[in-house]
Amino acid sequence: MTRKRFDHLHVEISVALGVHISRFALWLALHEAGHDPEHLSRQAAIAFCGAPLQSFLAERAQRLSLRDRRRVEKAVSRYDPSHPTPAEVMARF
The pTM is what? 0.88
Number of domains into which the chain is organized: 1
CA distances in angstroms from 55 to 32, 60, 68, listed in the order given: 11, 9, 15
pLDDT of residue 86: 79
Domain that holds residue 57: 3-91
Q: Are 76 and 40 in contact (CB under 8 A)?
A: no
pLDDT tens-digit profile, the chain (93 residues):
568 899 999 999 999 999 999 999 999 999 999 999 999 999 999 999 999 999 999 999 999 999 999 999 999 999 988 888 777 788 888
